[in-house]
């Protein structure tokens, strides 16, 4: 089985360009179904974005990738059903619901997949589509949404600022008849990015980044060119890697304001940050200080997606850190794997207690989910000895050329591919200096 081999205990140094945002690109790709031609730059090369391209092609759109630029042609969208096999690949397949419904007047989907982080219902998405005038029937695991003609603007109140539901509502309402007012919207930067993308296609969305959005429906979406924002969670992951290895790293193509809460936590842990010329430098102390209490919450608070990589860095901090996870019910499963390295960490419900140990030891581990997998990599970089990390499909969903990026920063890391021969391993080892 494919694995990442990491010889830990080496410092990182140099500069890294942060990839385009996965969670920004996915709704943008879905919204491209609304119509016209979309040229999307800085689109990260990930299995999740590849799955979106597959869905687009299956719907009958043109979808071509050239490096980090993707071109989607949605002049004609002949199909409105997404097969369960494609829906299961990732959670954000559900964002196609609003897009396909708005474009075709009908959408047939099944329950979406994605990381196992506890229950992830889509009730908020469905009730919002009903408010916009869709009739929804559920049968044999399929959800069939239908609107007679265009959707109709409505007043929608979200009881919780769900990122995905906000995205689905923005997309569906953008070509609805009349005005939609959404109260209780998510405020994540990816929401603002989506609104900017649709506005560039002729949409009329205001208020993105606040909790009240006003969406005036337009008849059709046109052509546009868009550049994906930097991935704030990838940035947080490199900061955590610097913190776990006592290193100094510079991140380019980064929005420090998008990760203010992450920066503030790592400052409490003893890291120093400097912003200069659009770049962010993090300098970590030899040993971090524990963070007494850290709670995840919707943006602009500390992101749940950066929780695991932060915990990995805190595993060797001086003192006891307490983390409260408020977004997802089961987002501490990676702690089980971290303990194989000697971490002293326990969780109960939404609370984890991490007692910093002197050092972690390399171990064999399995990724439990995307960010949990990244956390194991972060921990292994700072650990003593060799680690082997398996189930890499999780990491490949969200990190572009992860091991190459880390190796360029001086990490001793390589991917040991399936059916490898001793020769191939040697070539990898030589290339990465392991
Ligand atoms: C998005 O997921 C992100 N995914 C997640 O990132 C991120 O963890 C999450 O937002 C929170 O920030 C993408 O953007 C593709 P939610 P999403 O709807 O939209 C409950 C990563 O690691 N809820 O804000 O699925 C839900 O169960 C991924 O990159 C309902 O109850 O998140 C959860 O407890 C993982 N009913 C909470 O809301 C609904 O209809 C937050 O979910 C919808 C959500």
pLDDT, tens digit, 9 for 90 and up, residues 155-168: 999 999 999 999 99
Q: Are residues 35 and 13 in the same domain?
A: no
For ligand 1, whether the C-beta of 395 sits within 6 Å is no
- Residue 11 and residue 75 in one domain: no
Count of structural domains, the chain: 2
pLDDT in tens, 327-341: 998 899 999 999 999
pLDDT of residue 413: 97
> From the CA of 163, how far away is ligand 1's center (Å)?
6
Please tell me which residue in 3, 104, 115, 145 is annotated as part of the active site.
115
Q: Is 125 in the pocket of ligand 1 (CB under 6 A)?
A: yes
Can you give the CATH number for the domain in which 271 is found?
3.65.10.10
Residue 1: pLDDT band by 50, 70, 90 thresholds? confident
pLDDT at position 262 is 98
pLDDT band at 117 (very low <50, low <70, confident <90, very high): low
> For residue 139, what are the contacts with CB-CB under 8 A and spacing of at least 6?
none
213 in any annotated domain: yes
Q: Is the pLDDT of residue 433 over 80?
A: no
Q: Which of 203, 227, 251 is the last residue of a domain?
A: 227
Handedness of CA 276, 278, 280, 281 (dihedral sign): negative
Q: What is the pLDDT of residues 246-282, one digit of tens each?
A: 999 999 999 999 999 999 999 999 999 999 999 999 9
Residue 241 has pLDDT above 70, yes or no: yes
Lowest mean pLDDT among 205-214, 346-355, 365-374, 412-421: 412-421
- Same domain as 239, residue 115: no
Confidence of residue 50 (pLDDT cuts 50, 70, 90): very high
Cα distances (Å, whole numbers) of residue 231 to 79, 191, 259, 382: 31, 13, 10, 23
Indicate if ligand 1 lies below 6 Å from the C-beta of 370.
Answer: yes
- What's the whole-number mean pLDDT along residues 383-390? 97
- For 45-68, give one letter per residue: b (16+ CB within 10 A) or e: ebebbebbbebbeebbbebeeeeb
Please say whether the beta carbons of 105 and 144 come within 8 A. Answer: no
pLDDT at res. 115? 56
Residue 272 CA, ligand 1 centroid: distance in Å: 31
120 C-beta closer than 6 A to ligand 1? yes
pLDDT digits (tens, 9 = 90+) for 178-218: 999 999 999 999 999 999 999 999 999 999 999 999 999 99
Which residue among 227, 243, 263 closes a domain?
A: 227
User: Ligand 1 centre and the CA of 284: distance in Å?
Assistant: 31
% of the chain beyond a pLDDT of 90: 87
Res 118: pLDDT: 55
HSE-CB of 139 using CA atoms within 13 angstroms: 5
Residues 74 and 106 in one domain: yes
For ligand 1, atom 4, name the residue with the nearest CA: 23
CB 242 within 8 A of CB 271: yes
Residue 256 is classified by DSSP as G
pTM, 2 dp: 0.95
**Residue 87: band (very low, low, confident or very high) from pLDDT cuts 50, 70, 90:** confident
223 and 251 in a single domain? The answer is no
Task: Please give the number of the atom of ligand 1 that sits closest to the Cα of 190.
Answer: 14
Atom 5 of ligand 1 has which residue's CA nearest to it?
305
Q: Would you say residue 326 lies in a domain?
A: yes
Q: Count the neighbouring beta carbons within 10 Å of the beta carbon of residue 87.
A: 24
Whether residue 430 lies inside any domain: the answer is no
The helix (H) or strand (E) run that includes residue 125 is helix 123-131
Q: Is 3 a catalytic residue?
A: no
pLDDT value, residue 189: 98
Residue 116: pLDDT band (50, 70, 90) is low
Pairwise CA distance, residues 244 & 105, whole Å = 50
Report yes or no on 303 lying in a domain: yes
Residue 362 in contact with ligand 1 by CB distance below 6 A: no
Residue 305 lies in a domain: yes
Find the domain containing 133 and state its range.
22-227
Residues 220 and 235 both lie in one domain: no
Average pLDDT of the chain? 93
Whether 44 and 400 have beta carbons less than 8 Å apart is answered as: yes
Q: What is the CB neighbour count within 10 angstroms for residue 358?
A: 9
């Amino acid at each position: 089985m494919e694995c990442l081999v990491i010889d830990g205990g080496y410092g990182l140094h140099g500069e890294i360009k942060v990839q385009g945002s996965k969670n920004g690109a996915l709704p943008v790709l879905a919204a491209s179904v609304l119509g016209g031609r979309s040229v999307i730059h800085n689109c990260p090369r990930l299995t999740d974005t590849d799955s979106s391209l597959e869905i687009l092609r299956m719907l009958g759109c043109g979808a071509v990738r050239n490096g980090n630029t993707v071109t989607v042609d949605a002049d004609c969208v002949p199909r409105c059903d997404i097969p369960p096999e494609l829906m299961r690949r990732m959670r954000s397949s559900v964002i196609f619901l609003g897009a396909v419904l708005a474009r075709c007047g009908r959408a047939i989907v099944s329950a979406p997949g994605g990381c196992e982080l506890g229950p992830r219902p889509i009730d908020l998405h469905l009730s919002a589509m009903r408010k916009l005038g869709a009739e929804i029937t559920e049968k044999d695991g399929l959800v069939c949404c239908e609107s007679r003609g265009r959707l109709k603007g409505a007043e929608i109140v979200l009881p919780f600022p769900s990122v995905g539901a906000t995205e689905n509502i923005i997309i569906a309402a953008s070509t609805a008849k009349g005005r939609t007012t959404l109260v209780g919207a998510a405020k994540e930067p990816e929401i603002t990015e989506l609104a900017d993308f649709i506005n560039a296609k002729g949409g009329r969305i205001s208020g993105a980044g606040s909790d009240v959005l006003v969406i005036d429906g337009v008849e059709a979406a046109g052509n546009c060119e868009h550049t994906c924002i930097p991935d704030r969670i990838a940035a947080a992951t490199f900061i955590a890697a610097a913190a776990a290895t006592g290193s100094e790293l510079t991140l380019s193509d980064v929005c420090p304001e998008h990760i203010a809460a992450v920066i503030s936590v790592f400052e409490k842990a003893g890291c120093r940050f400097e912003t200069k010329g659009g770049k962010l430098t993090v300098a970590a102390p030899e040993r971090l200080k524990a963070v007494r209490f850290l709670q995840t919450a919707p943006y602009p608070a500390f992101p749940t997606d950066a929780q695991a990589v932060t915990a990995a860095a805190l595993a060797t901090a001086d003192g006891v850190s307490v983390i409260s996870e408020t977004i997802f019910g089961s987002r501490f499963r990676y702690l089980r794997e971290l303990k194989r390295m000697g971490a002293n960490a326990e969780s109960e419900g939404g609370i984890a207690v991490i007692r910093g140990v002197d050092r972690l030891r390399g171990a064999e581990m399995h990724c439990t989910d995307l960010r949990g997998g990244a956390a194991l990599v972060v921990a292994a970089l700072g650990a003593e000895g060799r680690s082997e990390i398996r189930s890499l499909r999780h990491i490949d969903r969200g990190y572009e050329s992860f091991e190459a990026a880390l190796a360029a920063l001086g990490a001793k890391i390589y991917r040991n591919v399936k059916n490898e021969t001793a020769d191939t391993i040697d070539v990898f080892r030589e290339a990465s200096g392991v």
